[in-house]
Homo-oligomer: A and B are copies of this chain.
């Protein structure tokens, strides 16, 4: 029996980049949070502190800023691919690079003026190694249907007290990510369409469970976007509790709710094509 080093990686997390694009008087804005992780032949630094194979994480940060100048940012997926390929191709001891980006939206107010949108964050995570995998996603998209949601006919045991309902609020904060079949694409168009499909399916599904809504959302994304192989959804069930107003001789016909913080339901699921190419290892993380 011996104690040995297992899988490992290292990198720079949360490098905050704002890139201004000056097209005459009209400016564009990219606002990113970039996290990089490299893996490969890194045993020496772990065992002896020999850092000859360790490109400093400070260098990764510098590379983000230098590439933003040299190549521009463009779509986050392309920027992530460029960075990931750079590390794998220039550092022979690096066998895999993962670049994850959060992209914050800004609404234009004028030629050089912007208001930050708070509604959701666009994400991507790109892995370049033995294979290339591009994952796009969205975080913090909060949706609510004030009706058209039921929940009944569920399993029961001795600890079950939940009343059945044929009318409840259904609310969630969508956390979704989907992997692409290719490393080339119209990333911006694909993201917008996937986002819209998620919203559309949530709005238009008469729901008997959040699981049913989840499958409808994932299915619509895949049906609409052939470039997407698989989607993973994590949907908190943001409970809205009907207030008992009967002590005050008041009715409450699904009008007055407590918006709960904790606990919350959490529905997680994957929707895939039966002929989807196999996912890379990072998909499961």
Chain B residues whose C-beta falls within 8 Å of the C-beta of A148 in the assembled complex: 112
Chain B residues whose C-beta falls within 8 Å of the C-beta of A21 in the assembled complex: 255
Tell me if A13 and B56 are in contact (CB < 8 A). no
Number of interface residues of A (CB under 8 A): 141
Tell me if B202 and A90 are in contact (CB < 8 A). no
Chain B residues whose C-beta falls within 8 Å of the C-beta of A82 in the assembled complex: none
Tell me if A203 and B258 are in contact (CB < 8 A). no
Chain B residues whose C-beta falls within 8 Å of the C-beta of A114 in the assembled complex: 143-146
Tell me if A118 and B120 are in contact (CB < 8 A). yes
Tell me if A27 and B266 are in contact (CB < 8 A). no
Shortest CB-to-CB span from A115 to chain B, Å, is: 6
A57 to B155, CA, bound (A): 11
Shortest CB-to-CB span from A216 to chain B, Å, is: 9
Known contacts: A65-B243, A158-B248. The answer to whether A268 contacts B10 by CB under 8 A is yes
Known contacts: A45-B211, A144-B106, A155-B53. The answer to whether A4 contacts B265 by CB under 8 A is no
